[in-house]
Structure 1
C-alpha cells in the first residue's frame, strides 16, 4: 500500500505536466487567426495594433513593402509579432492560398485605393476596390466553414451631395447616389457582400465611415483635418480645401469597431461615431421572423424594396452594431 502511494507521488509531476500540455494544446486549437488586408495603411495599422494588444497573431497582407506606418503605430518590433505576406489584392489565387496556409478564420478587408487615385486611374481603381473585394469573398468561399466573418469598409461616399436629399438627417433607406468612382465602387462592394450572403451564406459586416482623423492619416480627401492638426503643432499654415459641418471619428475608435465586428459578429456595441455596419447572419433571420417589416427594412433592405440602402446608414442614430 505504501509502495502504491510512492508510485502515485512520483507520477504527480508528470500528470500535472501532461494536463498543462493538454490545456495549452486546447488553447492553440481554439486560437483564431485574423487576416488584415491593407495592413500597412492607416486603419490597417491601428487594427493590427489592437489585435496585438489582445494577444493575437494577425496575418498582415499588403502590396507595399515598407511597413513604416505600421511600425510607427504598432511599435518597431511589430515584425516579430506579425506574419507579413506581400501580395496583390487583385490576385484571387494569392488570397485563397493565404487563407488556407495560415488557417485564417476572420478577414478584415481594408485594402483599397482612395478617391484621388481612383479619379486618376478608374480602371485600376475598380480592379483593386471592386475585384479585390470580390476576391476576398472568393477566398472565404474557397474554404467552406473556415471563415467565420468578413469585415469590409464601405464609405459615406456612397451618398451624393446634400442637395440631392431632403433636408435633415438621411433616412435609413436613403438611396445611394455616389458622386465619385470611389463611391460607385463602394456601392458595388456592398451589393457584392449581399450576394455572397444570399448565395453562399458568408456572413459579413460593412462600415460607412465619414471623416477619420489621427496618426497615420496622411492621404485621401478626408485626411485634411489630420494634416491641419499636424501643421498646427509644427507651426505651419494649412488650408483645408473644403468647408461645412461634418463628423469626425478618431482612427483608433474605427479600428476597434472593425475588431469588434470581426470577433462578435452579432452583438451590439455602441460608440459615438457615424458608422453603420451591415450585419448578415443567423441572428438576422431570427429577428426578421419576429419583425419581418422593420428588420427587413433596416437590416436587410434589399428584401424590403429595390434600390434601398444595403447598409444601415443613419445620421440620426450614431450606434455601431457589431
Structure 2
C-alpha cells in the first residue's frame, strides 16, 4: 500500500532518479514540499549512479519512491487515486538523440505512451498544473538564431525530437479540451554534478582521465547552449511557485530554458582540459545523423515571467562537475 501524505502540497515527479529529476526532487524536498517520485530504473546507463541519487532522496521523510514505469497506466491510476496530487512534473523519458536512431521503440513507449498515460491521470484526477520536459531538439536544424518559442518546430531531424514535439502537441490538446494547465520546458544541453554518463561533459572527462580518445564530431565546429543544472532547477522551481498558465482559453505555455550563451565545442573541451590539467586525445568524426550545428536559447519569455536568467558560467560549471566527478569516483589528485 502507498502511504497517503497529508497537509503539504504533493508533487509527483516522474523520472525522479534521473539527472534533472533527482536535482529537482532534492530542491523541492529542501523547500518542504512532499514529493512522490517514480522511476523505472532502466539500464540505459549506470544503475549505480541512479541508485546513489535515489539513496540521497529517500533520506527525506517527505519523499516516497515507487519503482515503476509511466507506461503502466494501472499503476499510475492507483498512485493518483491514493494521493491528492497537486502538481505533476514529468521528466521521465527515454533520452538521447543518437540512441533513438537504433531503438525507436523505446521512445514510442516512454515518450509517447507513458506521456499520454500521465496526461490521462492529470485529467481524471484534476491536477492543478502539469509541467513537462521538452527539448531544444524540437527546433531541428533551425537556421534562425537564437531559437524562439514562436519559431516553427515541425521539422524534427531525430526520432527523439519528434517524440518531444509530439509531447508538446499532446499537452496542448489536453489543455485545450480538458483545461489542464500545462507548461513545457525546452531544455538546452543540461550539465552538472550527477549528470548523465552519455552526455559530452561526462564522456569527455571520463575519457581524458582514463587516457582514452574522445570523439569530436564535426571537427568540434558546433555550438551548444550548455545550461548548468542549478539554473535549470531554479527556473523550474520558480515556475512551480508562479503557478499554472492563466490563459482561460488554452492554459498552455512553453519556455526555453537555456544559458543564452552558446559555446563552441572546441572551447568547451579546452575548459575541461584546463581543469583536469591534461590534454585530450581527439578523434575527429563527421557530423552525426540527428545532430545540429548550433543551439541558442532566446530566454526573454522566461526572464519576463520568473525574473530569473541562468547565472552559472561554463567555466564555473565545468569546475563544479569535475570536482564532483573526482570525489564520486575517488580519483586521486595525481590524475
1:106 to 68, 87, 99: 87
Residues in 1 aligned to 2:214 and 2:108: alpha-carbon distance in whole angstroms: 32
Aligned to 2:286: none
Displacement, 1:200?
0.5
Residues in 1 aligned to 2:26 and 2:209: alpha-carbon distance in whole angstroms: 25
Q: Deviations over 1:124-181 (max 9, x none)?
A: 311110111111110111113xx1111100011111224xx34x33454221121001
Displacement, 1:316?
3.6
TM-score (norm 1): 0.69
Q: Deviations over 1:34-57 (max 9, x none)?
A: 111111111111111111211223
Structure that is richer in helix per residue: 1
SS at match of 1:58: strand
Q: What is the Cα-based RMSD across aligned positions, in Å?
A: 2.9
Q: Deviations over 1:242-270 (max 9, x none)?
A: 5322211111221232333233225xxxx
Contact 1:213 1:248 in 2 (8 A): yes
Residues in 1 aligned to 2:300 and 2:216: alpha-carbon distance in whole angstroms: 25
Displacement, 1:225?
2.4
TM-score (norm 2): 0.66
Residues in 1 aligned to 2:47 and 2:65: alpha-carbon distance in whole angstroms: 10
SS at match of 1:59: strand
Contact 1:46 1:74 in 2 (8 A): no
Aligned to 2:38: 61
Instruction: Indicate how the Cα distance of structure 1 residues 106 and 224 shifts in structure 2: closer, same or farther if over 3 A, else same.
Output: same
2:247 to 254, 264, 284: 284
Query: Which runs of no fewer than 5 residues in structure 1 stay unpaired?
Result: 1-27, 267-280, 289-295, 301-309
Contact 1:45 1:69 in 2 (8 A): no
Bigger Rg, which one: 1
Q: Does 1:311 align with 2:288?
A: no
Q: Does 1:204 align with 2:182?
A: yes
2:234 to 243, 247, 256: 256
2:165 to 153, 177, 187: 187
Q: Aligned pair count?
A: 253
Residues in 2 aligned to 1:171 and 1:256: alpha-carbon distance in whole angstroms: 21
Structure that is richer in strand per residue: 2
Q: Does 1:50 align with 2:30?
A: no
Displacement, 1:104?
1.5
Displacement, 1:117?
3.5
Aligned to 1:304: none
Query: Which runs of no fewer than 5 residues in structure 2 stay unpaired?
Result: 257-295, 307-335
Q: Does 1:151 align with 2:151?
A: no
Aligned to 1:40: 17
